[in-house]
Amino acid sequence: MQSEFPGNIPINRLLPDFYRKYNLNEDGGLGEATVKVEVYKNFRFYLPNIDARKKAVLKHDIHHIITGYKSDFKGETEIGAWEIASGCRKYWVATVLDLASLALGCLFNLPGVFRAFIRGRRMKNLYDDTIPDAQAVSMTVDELREKLGLNIGQRTASVKEVLSFIGWGITGAIYSVCSIIVLPAVIVYSIVIALKKNGPRTI
């Protein structure tokens, strides 16, 4: 899958276009106290925008630009699967959010998340911190895609990759079920925030 953005332009020049296209704040929501999570179309809830998420969100947005996965419901399920497969365990917030996206994708976008997961198993991403953020944003889309191995074509999944997808899918399902315990608190928080203002950004 190719990026929807020009390959010869530096990431830092494309980020403002990305934020405008998906109705995000100019800084991608880094300065906001809350983050709006779009579950499906007009169904959303709010979470505190904690420091751990702020450290991961720029990498996540860059991943959108270089992978071609859009920042909508379908695209978020796919990039969640891609990030899980290519590795994000250094950033626990990314892992938690991606597990939820993967679980939703298994329900509503199974072919898409499966392809994204298999693709991610053969690539790197920015969560391993081998490429500093300042360097990543100065690179062009093509340069960063080449550096992370995104230019390889889709191949038939191996048995090991299929088993890994099943394992992560089960983990995501268990996590989602366990998360129900905090759902009342999230609902109350979301109602309070929604009454105060019309929401910041969508993940």
Enter the DSSP assignment of 22.
T
Q: How confident is the model at residue 85 (pLDDT cuts 50, 70, 90)?
A: very high
Cα 200 from Cα 38, distance rounded (Å): 11
The pLDDT of residue 41 is 60
3-state secondary structure of 34: strand
Q: What is the pLDDT of residues 16-65, one digit of tens each?
A: 999 999 888 778 888 888 887 776 666 778 889 999 999 999 999 999 99
Q: In angstroms, what CA-CA distances link 169 with 44, 50, 73, 101? A: 23, 26, 18, 10
Please compute the mean of the pLDDT values over residues 76-85 and round it to a whole number: 98
**CB-based contacts of 155, cutoff 8 Å, min separation 6:** 118, 122
The sign one gets for the Cα dihedral 66, 72, 77, 80 is: positive
Prediction pTM value = 0.91
Strand partners, 37: 45
Beta-carbon count within 10 A of 142 CB: 16
Q: Which two tokens stand for residue 52?
A: 């751990």
SS3 196: helix
What would the pLDDT profile of 127-169 be if each residue is shown by its tens digit? 999 999 999 999 999 999 999 999 988 789 999 999 999 999 9
Q: Each residue of 159-190: pLDDT tens digit?
A: 999 999 999 999 999 999 999 999 899 899 98
**How many Cα atoms within 13 Å fall on the side-chain side of residue 155?**
11
